[in-house]
Amino acid sequence: MTQLKYLILVSRQGKIRLKKWYTAMSAGEKAKIVKNLTPTILARKPKMCNIIEYSDHKVVYKRYASLFFIVGVTPDVDNELLTLEVIHRFVETMDTYFGNVCELDIIFNFNKVYDILNEMVMCDGSIAESNKKEVLHHVTVMDTMESNDNLERVLS
């Protein structure tokens, strides 16, 4: 099963593009994780396996184009192979939403990315919805509601 501890999106240059924490940690711990993991993962060679051990937990990462998706998981509980599928699902969903997603889409629309993520992964870091269409449907309905709000305001 999956129970993510955190998800961090990092560019090839080591810039943080998105981060989401699913377990309570102190600001110091969070900063340390980001600081230590980024160079380690950027230095990994392409053919190496996507699972590494870090501190008391494991980290699963996967590179898509210029972005690294880094996920902390709970050892012995998490299924690392399934974690890779979760990452892939997330990428696919963004891909459909943005239409061929690229790093810039994520940089400029990070709040949309959070919206999608929150529909896919629930508060304890496990997967909330396995149907991609279902996720996208609800995100777009909420998007429409937002623009309706705006419309109403203009009309009134």
Partner 1 sequence: MGSSLRSFIKDVRGAKTLADERAIITKQSAKIRTKLRDDHLPHEKRRVNIQKLLYLYILGEKTHFGQVESINLIASDDFVDKRLGYLAATLLLDESEDLLTLLTNMLNNDLHHPNKYAVSLALTSLGFLSSPELARDLYPDVENIIKNSKDPFLLKKALQCAAKLISKDISLLEIFNIEDITKILSNHSICTHGVLLGITKILQSVLLIGLDPENGDDDDGIDYANDVLSPLSLLLRDFFTRLENLNSKNIEPGYDVQGICDPFLQCEMIYTLKLYFQVGELLNSNHVLDYKDNFCDLLTRIATNTDSTKNSGQAILYETVKAIFSLNLNQPLRVLGVSILAKFLVGKDNNTKYVSLNTLLKVVPQEPTAVQRHRKFISHCLQDNDISIRMRALELSFAILDNSNLVDLIDELMKFLAKQDEDSKDLIIYTIDHLIDTFDTHTVKDENWKLDVFLNVLKLVGPFINYEKINDILIIINNTAQLSDKCNFLRKLLIISLDEKSMGISDENIGWRLVLIWCIGEYCDLLLNDNNESNAKIINESSITNYLLTLQECYTTTNHKIINYILTTALKLSIKLQGPKNIEKLRQVILGYADSTDLLLQMKSNQYEILFNQPVSVKRIVLETMPKFEKVAEKQENVKKTSKNPVSNEPADLLSDFLNDDNKTEAIAATDNNVGPTDLLEEIFGEKKDTKRPLKNGKEESIDQPLPASADSNVILPSNAAKIHDSASLNVYATLLSANSGLAHIELFFQAKSIISDLQTFCAVPKAQKLTLGQLHPSSTIRANQICKQSLKISGSGKLKLRVKLDFHLDGSPSTTNEQFDHKFDTTL
Rule CB under 8 A: which residues touch partner 1?
A: 1-2, 16-21, 24, 31, 34, 47-52, 56, 74-77, 79-82, 84-86, 89, 107-108, 110-111, 114-115, 118, 122-124, 126-134, 138, 141-142, 145-146, 148-150, 153
Strand order in the sheet with 4-11: 16-21, 4-11, 67-73, 57-64, 51-54
Least CB distance to partner 1 at residue 64 (A): 15
Least CB distance to partner 1 at residue 134 (A): 6
Least CB distance to partner 1 at residue 98 (A): 15
Cα distance between residue 133 and residue 98, in whole Å: 14
**What are the CB-based long-range contacts (under 8 Å, 24+) for 145-154?**
none
**What are the CB-based long-range contacts (under 8 Å, 24+) for 92-96?**
92/132, 93/120, 93/132, 93/135, 93/136, 96/132, 96/136
Q: Which CB, 74 or 102, lies closer to partner 1?
A: 74
Least CB distance to partner 1 at residue 68 (A): 15
Q: Which CB, 94 or 115, lies closer to partner 1?
A: 115
